[in-house]
Chain A
Amino acid sequence: MLLLKLCILIESRQLGVDIHFSPETMPIQLTSQAYCKMLLHAAKYPNCAVNGLLVAEKTKDRKKDSEPVLCVDCLPLFHGTLALAPMLEVALTLIDTWCKENNYIIAGYYQANERKKDSRPNQVAEKVAARISENFSDAAIVMIDNSRLTMSCFEPIVIIYDHHENKWKSRDVTLDSFEDWSEAQKITSALLEGRSYENLIDFDNHLDDLRNDWTNPMINKSVLDLC
């Protein structure tokens, strides 16, 4: 655990970002399903940038500082060109409507950059996150650290950014950032090795053929079976 923390500290220092645990914004937590689908998306398109949204269940009262925001699912959006506006708007509106149906709210945005050593949020990430923040003030950006993506997934490879004083600052990613890290690790590793990412559908795939379902029911079922 200490070794893990040390690794993350060194990594962050190399990235030149502040490590800052901000008690004002609530930390997000990832379920196995959310974490695993993000990584599957990144693994499916190893030569492209990928991005997507994270959703949480909508609760009536949310007391500050008590419970973290649990991101229960992830919706993969695009691969390759992430910065073009019209399809992004379509996806955001469509997913927003879908969320309302299922009592979810868009709580975060994830992105894996094209280059292996680059894991900082760029303008696209900040713009989308700003949009999400309009409806959900504790929106977070989750960046995938491409350089550490392996089949075994022995450590979490995400960097979580919170909006604090008009800047996006990374926070300590501990095992508390996961609902159940060992489960997430086991499931993600199994699905990566089983090449389930070949069947992962993102919004781009959906636009290519409407029958492709961006909610990924098959993969969700696989995750459930492995729990």
Chain B
Amino acid sequence: MASVSEMYDVGWEEMRDKLRKWREDNRRNSEQIVDVGEELISEHASKLGDDREHVPFLIVLSPLPTSLQTCLQELRKQFPDSHRVKRLAGMRLEALERYEEANKHYDAILQDDPTNTAARKRKIAILKAQGKSTEAIRELNEYLDQLPLLFISSAAFCLEELMMTNPHNHLYCEQYAEVKYTQGGLENMELSRKYFAQALRLNNRNMRALFGLYMSASHIASSPKVSAKVKKDNIKYAAWAATQINRAYKLAGRGTKETKYSVKAVEEMLESMQITMS
């Protein structure tokens, strides 16, 4: 069969531009997309640059299953850990009614990222397709329970925007750190610690940032997933934060009898956390 470039006498750049336009216009001319796209991937992949990502997705989402295999293989090669790719692989399996395997893909995504709504929706779609309505309802309820997690992701996004436009505002920085901490997970905890540290650089009297630095560093240090060096570094950060906290309390406590309870409580709290870190 003659190639697209031969049939229409077009170069690869024109093919790429055409695909871009179809994508922007949300066109569903699947057969053409598949033909042009497949050729671009197999013959001109290295020249595509940013479009490399979009071309295979465009093809996979077009309703024809014939070229799915090639596209998915290409995607998996380029983006081995991508959730989007896993989801597409799952969708292909769904189309072939191999529901158990499809579910495995979606469960893998959700284990890594419990806020991934797309994966959750696919799981519910499978249950519906299998006629298991009660289970579908149960999964839907679980999905609704995850909504607060979604809200917190939106909160993170909003704060990111605020920080970009107000880089010197230590309050946004510190709030962002708190949101990251609340989202949980090692990566978010490390980000949280960095932003608490940044908030402190902007305002060294921000107690929330100081406490936050202490808590996040302590959590990282007591995590079994970190290397010895990371653990050692975080113990150092936490120890520094603890000294600063104690100092701040002693300063505040001068002259008033009542705050002596706070000072002692803080010292004890810091000591008790040291035990969990070692």
Do B208 and A87 touch across chains, with their CB atoms under 8 A apart? yes
A215 at the interface (CB under 8 A from B): yes
Decide yes or no: A101 and B265 within 8 Å by CB, A84-B182, A210-B249 being known contacts.
yes
Do A90 and B273 touch across chains, with their CB atoms under 8 A apart? no
Within 8 A of B (CB), among A146-169: none
Residue of B nearest to A218 (CB): B258
- Choose among A90, A95, A101, A209 the residue that contacts B264 (Cβ–Cβ < 8 A): A101
Do B259 and A93 touch across chains, with their CB atoms under 8 A apart? no
Q: Which residues of A contact B208 (CB under 8 A)?
A: 86-87, 207
Name the residue among A85, A123, A207, A215 with the largest chain B CB count within 10 angstroms.
A85
A2 at the interface (CB under 8 A from B): no
Q: Which residues of B contact A85 (CB under 8 A)?
A: 178, 181-182, 184
- The CA-CA distance from A87 to B206 in the complex, in Å, is 13
Q: Which residues of A contact B152 (CB under 8 A)?
A: 83
Stretch in B47-55, B161-169, B209-217 with 4+ CB within 8 Å of A = B209-217
Do A210 and B207 touch across chains, with their CB atoms under 8 A apart? yes
- The CA-CA distance from A210 to B211 in the complex, in Å, is 12
Q: Which residues of B contact A98 (CB under 8 A)?
A: 261-262, 265
- The CA-CA distance from A194 to B273 in the complex, in Å, is 42
B3 at the interface (CB under 8 A from A): no
Do A213 and B269 touch across chains, with their CB atoms under 8 A apart? no
Do B258 and A215 touch across chains, with their CB atoms under 8 A apart? yes
Do A207 and B207 touch across chains, with their CB atoms under 8 A apart? yes
A63 at the interface (CB under 8 A from B): no
Residue of A nearest to B206 (CB): A207
Within 8 A of A (CB), among B215-239: 215-216
Q: How large is the interface on B (under 10, 10 to 19, 20 to 34, 35 or more residues)?
A: 20 to 34
Within 8 A of B (CB), among A80-98: 83-87, 89-90, 93-98
Decide yes or no: A97 and B252 within 8 Å by CB, A87-B178, A87-B211 being known contacts.
no
B41 at the interface (CB under 8 A from A): no
A211 at the interface (CB under 8 A from B): yes
Name the residue among A84, A208, A209, A217 with the largest chain B CB count within 10 angstroms.
A84
Q: Which residues of B contact A90 (CB under 8 A)?
A: 211, 215, 269
Do B211 and A207 touch across chains, with their CB atoms under 8 A apart? yes
Do B259 and A94 touch across chains, with their CB atoms under 8 A apart? no
Q: Which residues of A contact B251 (CB under 8 A)?
A: 210
Decide yes or no: A86 and B211 within 8 Å by CB, A101-B261, A123-B148 being known contacts.
yes
- The CA-CA distance from A206 to B263 in the complex, in Å, is 13
Do B258 and A86 touch across chains, with their CB atoms under 8 A apart? no
Do B215 and A89 touch across chains, with their CB atoms under 8 A apart? yes
Interface residues of chain B, those whose CB is within 8 Å of chain A, are 148, 152, 175, 177-179, 181-182, 184, 192, 207-208, 211-212, 215-216, 248-249, 251-252, 256, 258-259, 261-262, 264-266, 268-269, 272-273
In the complex, 30 of the A-B residue pairs with CB atoms within 8 angstroms, ordered by the A residue number, are A83-B148, A83-B152, A84-B175, A85-B181, A85-B184, A86-B212, A87-B178, A87-B208, A87-B211, A89-B215, A90-B215, A94-B265, A94-B266, A95-B265, A96-B269, A97-B264, A97-B266, A97-B269, A97-B272, A98-B261, A123-B148, A206-B262, A210-B248, A210-B249, A210-B251, A210-B252, A211-B252, A211-B259, A213-B258, A215-B258
Leading 5 A-B pairs by shortest Cβ distance = A210-B252, A85-B182, A97-B265, A84-B178, A98-B265
